[in-house]
Amino acid sequence: EPEVTQTPSHQVTQMGQEVILRCVPISNHLYFYWYRQILGQKVEFLVSFYNNEISEKSEIFDDQFSVERPDGSNFTLKIRSTKLEDSAMYFCASSLASGSYEQYFGPGTRLTVT
């Protein structure tokens, strides 16, 4: 069964450093998303991406964040200058299209900022 994959599973970085989290969505999916979950809190939407453009972003997704689909398979989230409060699980998701709310999530990347 096709699945969303994410790398790395765990990333430790120092405050102020740049990190890139990588995702490979399901191959025939057209919509891509990033969510995050701070430990013990709700899963929060960050950004959605379609047709090489951001469709929607939350207030969390400020100028420190960017997304890219550099080739036909990868979808990346970059945090330019990490802060302690960026420590969280980051989940990538993808969906087929046409308004389906059925999204498939990856296993997540645990980001620890020290």
Q: How many angstroms separate the CA atoms of 10 and 108, rounded?
A: 9
Q: How many angstroms separate the CA atoms of 94 and 31, rounded?
A: 5
Give me the least distance between CB of 90 and other proteins, in Å please: 10
Identity of the residue, 14 or 41, whose beta carbon is nearer to other proteins in the bound complex: 41
Give me the least distance between CB of 78 and other proteins, in Å please: 20
What does DSSP assign to residue 40?
Answer: T
Give me the least distance between CB of 21 and other proteins, in Å please: 13
Handedness of CA 41, 42, 47, 49 (dihedral sign): positive
Identity of the residue, 15 or 61, whose beta carbon is nearer to other proteins in the bound complex: 61
Tell me if 31 sits within 8 A of 49, measured CB to CB: yes
Binding interface with other proteins (CB under 8 A): 4, 31, 33, 35, 42-45, 48, 50, 55-56, 89, 91, 93, 95, 97-108
Identity of the residue, 39 or 84, whose beta carbon is nearer to other proteins in the bound complex: 39
CA 5-82-24 angle, to 5 degrees, is: 15
Give me the least distance between CB of 81 and other proteins, in Å please: 25
